[in-house]
Structure 1
Amino acid sequence: MDLTFQDLFHFGSHALESVNDYEKLSKIFFGSRHDFLNLLVFDTNGKLLTSLAARGVRAQPQLSGVSAQNNLFFQEALGGKRYISPVFFGPNGPSIQIATPITKNGKIIAVVSGEIDFTLLWGVASKTSVEEGKIYLVDNRGARISDPNIELARSGENLRYREIVNLLVQGRERIDFNKYTNEVGEKVLASGVKMPSTGWGVVVEQNENTALKQRNQTLIIALIFAGANFALLALLIFSTFRLMRALINVGREREERERTIAFLPDGVIEYTGENQILAMNPAAKRHLDIAGLPINIYVSESAAIPAGLERLWTIFFPRQEREGGQGNIYEISFQKPEPRVLQIITVYIKGTGHLEEQRYLKIIHDVTHERPL
């Protein structure tokens, strides 16, 4: 959840400083994070200072004029911890609440909380292909929180009576193979993995006969899904796709595209299949230590690297020993001018013809404080 908590802290801090500019802040926040339903900022006594709600989302009147001092999310955040709630069903549908402290000079000065639309993860699970099977999620209590069958997901049934779920709840990080009969009476073989960022469990089940032929594939699906974590899924599948829609709108000029990404806390680079840089937001320039960017620049592995653009070239052509992760997600470490670890996420936008017509995004997330250097 690191990316999501970073955005919560980033925009919560802005909300605390810009209490008279709700409309502008709401537009920026909910325009870049469509998965958030609201954002609430409390002082250290639990008094609600700022409340932002996405358009069409019902507010939370029960918090107006009432101290959040006795609420678990507030107590956890005030104690310096990140809070993640169980999935709950409110007036806006299934969602989870997260909270984190806002700090200044090492001191907690406020608490920010946000409600996240959980139907996002339902969509992810339903679109993850498993031959003659499915993928579902349980929370740290064993309750089913995601399933391709929406009615099953809505039921919130506790599945600890299944051995695989019970083991995940007890703390087992990985269960390779477990047999049981599912809710439709089908004998299945399942693999399970615990998501380290949330404590939730990912279970992939397949028809027993099919699974016996593809034992490794079932486990790999669970491992990949768990490793991606909710924050990354939210970024790639929800927020980024909405951002891409804005970026590729043919009616937008270059300046307007750059304004769209200017306020995002993560670095964003838009480029073509020929590696021509089309747009780069301030966060990307900061992460890559770029003072000025030439117009119509192409990043080429065979070309000489222009002075001051060494980091830009490195994220496009990383040396093998610097990579972490796999596929389109990897990490790169820099030692100069200061130690920094950047997580790079590459996303295809559009175009299947000539390279110059293809569009991609590179999203740059600073994970320095989470990684040993």
Structure 2
Amino acid sequence: MTTPTADLAAAGVSIWLDDLSRSRITSGNLAGLIESRDVTGVTTNPTIFQSAIGNKNDDSYSAQIADLAGRGASVDETIFELTTDDVRDAADIFRPVFDATDGLDGRVSIEVSPDLAHDTDATIAQAKELWAKVDRPNALIKIPATKAGLPAITAVLAEGISVNVTLIFSLDRYADVIDAYLAGIEQAQANGHDVSKIHSVASFFVSRVDTEVDKRLSAYSDPAAEELKSTAGIANARLAYELFEEVFASERATALTGAGAHVQRPLWASTGVKDPSLPDTLYVTELVAPGTVNTMPEKTLEATFDHGVIAGDTVTGSYVGAHHVFDSLAELGVDFDDVTQVLEDEGVEKFIASWHDLQKTVAEALAQAPETAR
């Protein structure tokens, strides 16, 4: 008998877990998910690390924090050590997957500080530091798709560093991201790097789109507005895949892939449903397409394994309907450009808030470390 997660993998979707903690690594849980849930990668973000390190019921980090306190490490130095150690250890667990898939999967992502989201040069510098510190070929450095992030994406790829582009909401910005990727691979090629070793994913956020659009639709009395609820996120992602297919079939892209480069795979992020009235596997079963990644919180992963119905490709034949959703939103007066800008701004702000919470948590832990450690 097969399982829904195995069916999803067979349909060409890589399943990545959107979570990481030291206890998940040391307990064997992460290795178990590879075996039992077909998980082939991990994504992290500042909120995930704040949850892990700030967990009062988990003392996995206390010994290292005490040691770092004894060495006089600053808050940011401590965060850098804790998070890169976790990502390195997770990357080692996933190394067999990385080797078996020739580098396609087995990936573990770590994000540059969200405080740098609007600073190109600082983003480039920290991306290089993270890559060097983790020191694993199956790492991915996450860079947000802000305007300042775009040239950083190109510059980091040009150094031969694999990148996960995060916080993508609009098709226009996604087009910019693909362009930044292609430019980065072209520069890497010119710099003498083996482009077959460079990988990238473009993280397109899904459920947050529905949350914002549905909030705006609630202001309309038109019955059509009610029918459009919970449709924009999936439609937006499906049109992103349409754009992916178009651009990577272009002469510019095929010249690179013909020289050994890889396409930048679309990754569906924010795939846990926010509206409890929706099916809990909605953003999995409706976004099945070959050559994609779906990064899931554990709750969504378990729901998919338990009762997800994987009925093959649910994306490539859906473009007309997806365009119709956006035409209908425009007719009602929903400003989708504003929706995506609000979501990008909020996304950066939320990660900054989580980062600052993490700094506060670590500062308190360093202060409370035993005097003998300092």
Structure 1 length-normalised TM: 0.27
Higher RCO by CA contacts (8 Å cutoff, separation 6 or greater): 2
Structure having the higher strand fraction is: 1
